[in-house]
Structure 1
Amino acid sequence: MSFTTYYTASSLDGFIADAEHSLDWLLSRKADSDGPMGYNPFIAEIGAIVMGANTYQWVIEHEPDEWSYTMPAWVVTHREFEAKPGRDIRFTSAPIPEIYRQMVETAGDKNLWVVGGGGLAAEFAEHGLLDEIIVSYAPVTLGSGAPLLPRKQELRAVETALNGELVCARFEVVK
């Protein structure tokens, strides 16, 4: 059975992007992609990803000629986006449980990643479909922006680590 993780980074005051949707505050930080709770060991276990329209828009604006994901991706949106050749991207406005079922069928024995944003992760949690949250906290406060998780959610801390400039924490979602 697939395990679903919201894997993200946050400012100390709980924002995943600043008020202008910038990640400059994060991209300038040093961390080891192969280190504790690093990206490389995490992504190796992922068989399908899902993101919201704002996250997808950010990715295509900042990396228009690149697509770093090799697994199928669902983009939850009501907007129209141009399909890019060679990328397995599925634009959908289906209910979260249906998207989850499709992802599980596609991922095989691998896990699922809720890439972002926080509202989408909260929707997965509300349906009992989110198992854990892994957050890499950057040593900065933003004051405003896109919240890490915009709804109340009970979590249980299960692991912490230091990775370069980031303090990483793994939380189990209390169901």
Structure 2
Amino acid sequence: MSSHPIFRYYTASTLDGYLADPDDSLDWLLTQPIDEGGAMNYTEFIADIGAMVMGWTTYRWLLENEVSDGKPWPYDIPCFVFTHREITPIADTISVVTGDPGSKRDALVAAAGGKDIWIVGGGDLAAQFADARMLDEIVVSFAPVTLGEGRPLFPRRYDLELVDTARNRAFVCARYAVVGPRPRVAS
């Protein structure tokens, strides 16, 4: 752990760059074979995470799919939900926040306790963190599926540097350093 946490966007995507279909379904992801102990796996990733952030759509998906039927909130680390909606957190570890990521930097770093910060999603929230210069790394597991439409992986023009690649059963996994915004070239 460093004194400066790494802001990481760790996610999965379809080959054509979508996180979810237009109805926010992840059925394309949940049917793919993966080795839980394989390359770029979640268990190793989450061990370095001290706090997490997500947008409303991701939070709602978790409520509907992971916390339904009386199951508890699956995370014990601080979680910040960025939204303009009035919501009541379902766990003591959840904070509902508004505003741009830059205005929450100090609170996120403090909550992470010297560990890294996971931008769970969605793609637009991750891009807002990048715009605030608060996204250091993108780790994506690409599934052998195309959707043609849906929630985009990262809806901004950015240059990335490929740092590492691996295969985890059906997934091609890639780790990128965020270089910065990609300028528009006049035609």
**TM-score relative to the length of structure 1:** 0.96
Runs of 4+ in structure 1 over 6 Å off: none
Deviation of 1:98 (Å): 2.2
CA contact (8 A) 1:67 1:87 kept: no
3-state DSSP class of the match of 1:66? coil
Partner residue, 2:55: 52
1:69 corresponds to: 75
Q: CA deviation at 1:132?
A: 0.5
Contact 2:100 2:128 in 1 (8 A): no
The answer on 1:112 being equivalent to 2:111 is no
Task: Compute the displacement of 1:130 (Å).
Answer: 0.4
What is the 5 A alignment of 1:20-169? 20-64=23-67, 65-84=71-90, 86-169=91-174
Instruction: Tell me the number of residue pairs that the alignment of Structure 1 and Structure 2 aligns.
Output: 174
Shift, 1:127, TM fit: 1.1
RMSD: 1.0
Give the corresponding residue for 1:14. 17
Task: Tell me the amino acid that sits aligned with residue 83 of structure 2.
Answer: T
- TM-score (norm: length of structure 2): 0.90
Greater Rg by CA: 2
Shift of 1:137: 0.3
Shift of 1:87: 3.5
Instruction: Find the residue that maps to 1:123 and give its secondary structure.
Output: helix
Displacement after TM superposition at 1:101 (Å): 1.6
CA distance in structure 2 between the partners assigned to 1:99 and 1:15 by the alignment: 27
Cα distance, 1:151 vs structure 2? 0.8
Name the aligned partner's letter for residue 75 of structure 1.
Answer: V
Code of the residue aligned with 1:3 in structure 2: it is: I
Tell me how far 1:164 sits from its aligned partner. 1.3
Tell me the distance in 1 between the aligned counterparts of 2:170 and 2:101.
Answer: 34
What residue identity is the alignment partner of 1:101?
D
SS in 2 for 1:168: strand
Q: Deviations over 1:26-67 (max 9, x none)?
A: 001111222110000000100000000010011001122332
- Partners in 1 of 2:103 and 2:79 — Cα distance? 14
Structure 1 segments unaligned to the other structure (5+ residues): none
- 1:19 Cα deviation from its structure 2 partner: 1.1
In structure 2, list runs of 5 or more residues that go unmatched.
181-187
Task: Report the more deviating stretch, 152-161 or 31-40.
Answer: 31-40
Identity among equivalent positions (%) equals: 49
Does the aligned pair in 2 maintain the 1:49–1:73 contact within 8 Å? yes
- Give 2:185's aligned residue: none
